[in-house]
Amino acid sequence: DVVLCDLMMPRMSGMELEREISRRHPSLAERMVFISGGAFSEGAARFLDETDRPVLEKPFDGGALRELVADVARGG
């Protein structure tokens, strides 16, 4: 499994979701991929640096998405 998560969501931020998944299911948190429109706060930038999770910048093409998901699913 791979979790695709936008950084900016209406009820819970991607950062909050990652923290919750890390707490409850650490091995799943290692397979998170963040999606971003590029306009994020200094805190979000720091979070992405600290978590070292892959980030797919919008707009992206389907091939890039498939390649990244396959890589993360393989443990890369």
Task: Say if CB 54 and CB 68 are below 8 A apart.
Answer: yes
CB neighbour list of residue 23: distance below 8 Å, 6 or more residues apart: none
pTM of the model: 0.84
In whole numbers, what is the pLDDT of the chain averaged over residues? 90
Over residues 40-52, the mean pLDDT reads 84
Q: How many domains does the chain contain in total?
A: 1
List the domain range (segments joined by +) for residue 21: 3-73
Please report which confidence band the pLDDT of residue 39 belongs to, taking 50, 70 and 90 as the band edges.
low
CATH number of the structural domain spanning residue 19: 3.40.50.2300
Which residues are CB-contacts of 41 (< 8 A; sequence separation ≥ 6)? none
The pLDDT of 6-23, averaged and rounded, is: 92
> Is the pLDDT at 45 greater than 90, yes or no?
no
- For residue 70, what pLDDT is reported? 96
In total, the chain counts a number of residues equal to 76
Long-range pairs of 17-26 with CB within 8 A, sequence gap ≥ 24: 18/47, 18/51, 18/53
